[in-house]
Structure 1
Amino acid sequence: MLFTMLATMAIVTQDQAALRAGARESAAQQAVLWRGDALEVRGRRLDYLQVWDHRRERGGFVRASQVRVTELQPAEAPELLSVLRFVRDTPGAEALGVAYAAAYLQAVPPAQLGPEVFDAIGTLADRLARRAAMKPGQSSSATIAAHLEVVKFYGVAIGGTERDGQLQPCYDGEAFRRVLALPSSAEQRARAALGLTRHDCVDTSLSPVQRLPLDQWRAQVLDQLSAEQFASLPEQTRNQLRLRRAGVWASLAYQQTRRHEPAAAAAAAQRALGELAAVNKTELSDDDRAAYQEAAMRVSASRWAAEAEPTPAAAGLAIRTEAGQPGETCVQLVDARQPQARPLASRCTYGLVWAASARANPAGNALALAVQPLDTWRELWVFRRQGKDWVVDALPPAANGPELGYLEFAGWVPGSDRLLVARESKVEGRVKRSFEVLKPDTGGQAEKSAAAPDQIAAFARWQDPAWKRQTVSLR
């Protein structure tokens, strides 16, 4: 992290302060200054300071009341740290806080430097990145853009990854890494771990080969706290760590299944389910409740990795899989009584086929199967007889996506090919969960839908006992 070395530093404390050509209000405006801008003080005239702006390579005059001056001496370090502690929790003051952190790093003797200042820089930078990701008004956009330029001057890197066609601003986490490298408190380490492992800051363009080591590193970061340190944290922070761990381990289960490592994938899926189950739901804030919903969808998408492979069916419908094109799996529907006969239907996919999820209806004319194209998106395939032929319907969690969601089998309605499903998705920031009765030939449109399964009579009579025992949707 690079900071400009100044002899006497003036920190701008007001947005849109004017840098003027002379020491008077009527002088021409040279530039617009923003909170957190650092200026080198070179003199004073009346109620103006003569300064040099290294970021813009321009000199001028600024009102003394719009800046705070520090000589960057060790004696000033405690005062600078006190101001930093105040502004680190003030929304909108992120650039100003980074400026005070820069001044403190120059003033404090090396022997007294601890993790607190890096914890503050990471917290401020992460919050500024989150603010930049929101959809503010035009004036707010200009302010945030200016604050991003200010912190960039101090070496705080806030880049972006593309998600769903939009740029997602994210802090690169350098200060958080320093916190983990220093003898830090449990709360400081927890904040650093959460800041470094955000799901929305994972680059969606990463290949599977690149994604697995990243997820493994995220899991290691989240597990750095000892059992004693974890127990000493506030319950809300413990919940936040459990939710993040659940999502990361669910992604690991998906990645390890792709690499044909069933034992590792099963352990990862069990870990994800365990972390989600350990969440204390009575201690969730509004923001944490949203994170809980997202974590549950991530865990549910990969939960079949924790289930054993099915035993071969003695009679009725079954599936078998074989390799197709490189990276492709072909699913064949077969009559278990005639396994060597020609497949009744076949379809190939680059997603994960969860063979343990296959469920045939009692009439033997339909079968449901879970297929997971992405680590956060699980579809439901329905093989069904249509006259003398067999067709395959691929039913997604939502019409728009993929972003985050799953659609899972919950039971068959006897005497028909209708089935019970649980559906949950997050699309364009909105989460929806429902329990439905649907016919596959309607493209996934529900005949009946409710927010809870006990509001649909068919669920009380026909829900699959294994689904009720295993599902995350009934949390």
Structure 2
Amino acid sequence: MSKNKRRVCSLPVLLVMGLSLAAACLNVAAAAEAGKPLGAGLVLHDQAPLRGAARDSAPLQASLWRGEALEIRAERLDHYQVWDYRRERGGWLRKSQIYRLPNDPNELLASLRLVRLQQGAEALGLGLAAAYVQSASREQLNGAGGTEALDALGTLAERIADRANLGNKNNETLTAAQLDVAARYGLRYVSFNQPDGRVLLCYDGDAFRRVLSMPAAAEAQARAALALTRPDCSDPAALPSDKEKLDAWRAEVLSHVDVQDLAPHWKNRVLMRRAAVQASLAFARREAAASTAAAQASLADFASLQPTELAEDDQASWNDTAMRVNAMRWAGSPRLSSREFGKLQMSLSATPEGEQCLSLTDGNPAKPLLRRCSFGQVWLASASLNREGNAIAIAAQPLEGWRELWILHKSSEGWRLQVLPPTAAHPGLGYVEFAGWVPGGKQVLVSREARAEGRYARRTFELLNLQTLATERQAGEPQLLGAFQRWQDPAWKRESLALR
């Protein structure tokens, strides 16, 4: 065969419903000079030896990876003569090392269902999905079979990216080979630079977008929506305006999933993602009405969850969603610009630079007792004064998903403000919130929970010293602390997600 004829099928482009797959000549349209090809096949094992003759002692031509597509040209004994269009190289491969593709698309779909369940066989599944898309009729592609193949294609591509992000040194060669095979089938991946210097790899989601545009089973629609709205697959360095647009798109994608037809655990997954996205929008949107609506939608979705139907794998997402929603729950309350506690008055004002400034006065606005500014959100509706009148607690949120507690305390030297973070680590995801005043004006109750620097800090309920904010007592459950049983704030107990 001449060099020109070899290139006829080297990089075919398959266009079915707009799907572009660089399938490695799975459908051989023309006969080779030596005779009509026997068909196409997929390599079944990693590092399968392609040899120069139909015997194991023949020279090695190449090592092939599972899922690679080959043209089968002839057979001899227990070997197939094959041609690799990507490498522009031919040779002999044992029949046990190759899966000869059937002509019936239904057989391909049945094989895909089995391979899809096998961890480590993702590249082979991509080859089967590509073969089905190429061999199926238009009616089959627009039906349940086409949706299933695209769903499998996206799921397998996503699993390869997740494995690559784990950074397992024992499997890095295999993972790199799977990414290479995926690229040959036209699948694209995007990478994001993380603050810690890592590079996160994510599937671009083209197959999932097509699933959402087709009549698909509820579970397939949910899986596609969840894959397209993953919070980790976004640029950490994106501008706030770009992130808000992305979150608005994510919210729209999730809104099209009908949760009523889903199994309880899949319904929980969609509701958790919706609640988290709406919480992000509540922080990003500066218009009070839009922010309040997003916060209330977030709380409503979280309230619809069924904790008893949570899968074990979803526990981390459950905690993260609760922290993100709880951090934003004050956005669902009326926006206040001032509060009065007897002689004490609190007010919020905006600066030209975009800061919110909290002022505390005792009747003379010209001489504030205390003033503090922040580029984040200060929730004046959360302010609470203790019975002795010497301390005020107020929620402040400098970052999305990260809510701090401002403690205004009066001493012999006047009023001062102390900031209590969710945890003593680089800000990540979490909250610390006022839970009640202890009579005597020397102690305060708080609850906190956080995930920062890759670690989850368990939910705790603490008794703090007002003067130093040092923890005097703490427990994992509020009923284990006598102070919580006696002095916890009724509004906190009613509204906080810390008691979920």
* 2:257 is the counterpart of 1:225: yes
Are the equivalent residues in 1 in contact too, given 2:339–2:380 (CA < 8 A)? Answer: no
Are the equivalent residues in 2 in contact too, given 1:95–1:147 (CA < 8 A)? Answer: yes
Which string of whole-angstrom CA distances, capped at 9 and with x for unpartnered residues, describes residues 234-292 of structure 1?
11111111111111111111112xx2x21222121111111111111111111122221
Distance in 1 of aligned mates of 2:327 and 2:178: 38
**Match of residue 33 from structure 1:** 64
Letter of the structure 1 residue corresponding to residue 149 of structure 2: V
Letter of the structure 2 residue corresponding to residue 254 of structure 1: F
Are the equivalent residues in 2 in contact too, given 1:421–1:437 (CA < 8 A)? Answer: yes
Q: How does 1:320-331 map to 2 (within 5 A)?
A: 320-324=347-351, 326-331=353-358
Match of 2:319 among 293, 302, 312: 293
Distance in 1 of aligned mates of 2:157 and 2:111: 17
Distance in 2 of aligned mates of 1:162 and 1:431: 25
Q: How does 1:56-135 map to 2 (within 5 A)?
A: 56-70=87-101, 75-113=103-141, 114-135=146-167
* 2:36 is the counterpart of 1:9: no
1:471–1:108 CA distance, 2 compared to 1 (3 A): same
1:171–1:92 CA distance, 2 compared to 1 (3 A): same
Question: How far apart are residue 462 of structure 1 and its match?
Answer: 1.8
Distance in 2 of aligned mates of 1:187 and 1:179: 11
Are the equivalent residues in 2 in contact too, given 1:412–1:462 (CA < 8 A)? Answer: yes
Letter of the structure 1 residue corresponding to residue 125 of structure 2: G
Question: How far apart are residue 135 of structure 1 and its match?
Answer: 4.7
1:33–1:4 CA distance, 2 compared to 1 (3 A): same
Are the equivalent residues in 2 in contact too, given 1:412–1:420 (CA < 8 A)? Answer: yes
**Match of residue 218 from structure 2:** 186
1:111–1:312 CA distance, 2 compared to 1 (3 A): same
161-170 or 113-122: bigger deviation: 161-170
TM-score (norm 2): 0.87
Distance in 1 of aligned mates of 2:354 and 2:78: 71
Distance in 1 of aligned mates of 2:86 and 2:273: 38
Are the equivalent residues in 1 in contact too, given 2:347–2:359 (CA < 8 A)? Answer: yes
**Match of residue 362 from structure 1:** 387
Displaced runs of 4 or more, over 6 A:
none
1:353–1:78 CA distance, 2 compared to 1 (3 A): same
**Match of residue 246 from structure 1:** 275
Match of 1:208 among 225, 236, 240: 240
Are the equivalent residues in 2 in contact too, given 1:425–1:432 (CA < 8 A)? Answer: yes
Q: How does 1:315-354 map to 2 (within 5 A)?
A: 315-324=342-351, 326-335=353-362, 338-354=363-379
Distance in 2 of aligned mates of 1:317 and 1:168: 50
Match of 1:157 among 175, 183, 188: 188
Structure 1 gaps, min length 5: none
1:432–1:314 CA distance, 2 compared to 1 (3 A): closer
**Match of residue 462 from structure 2:** 436
53-62 or 387-396: bigger deviation: 53-62
* 2:188 is the counterpart of 1:168: no
**Match of residue 443 from structure 2:** 418
**Match of residue 416 from structure 2:** 391
Letter of the structure 2 residue corresponding to residue 25 of structure 1: D
1:83–1:14 CA distance, 2 compared to 1 (3 A): same
Distance in 2 of aligned mates of 1:295 and 1:242: 10
1:16–1:446 CA distance, 2 compared to 1 (3 A): farther
SS at match of 1:330: strand
Letter of the structure 1 residue corresponding to residue 340 of structure 2: A
How many residues in Structure 1 have an aligned counterpart in Structure 2?
462
Distance in 2 of aligned mates of 1:244 and 1:17: 42
1:305–1:21 CA distance, 2 compared to 1 (3 A): same
1:124–1:318 CA distance, 2 compared to 1 (3 A): farther
Question: How far apart are residue 347 of structure 1 and its match?
Answer: 2.3
* 2:340 is the counterpart of 1:309: no
Structure (1 or 2) with the larger CA radius of gyration = 2
Distance in 2 of aligned mates of 1:347 and 1:31: 68
Question: How far apart are residue 66 of structure 1 and its match?
Answer: 1.0
Question: How far apart are residue 22 of structure 1 and its match?
Answer: 4.2
Q: Let me know the Cα RMSD of the aligned residues.
A: 2.2
SS at match of 2:55: coil
Match of 1:276 among 302, 309, 330: 302
Distance in 1 of aligned mates of 2:177 and 2:343: 66
TM-score (norm 1): 0.91
**Match of residue 24 from structure 1:** 55
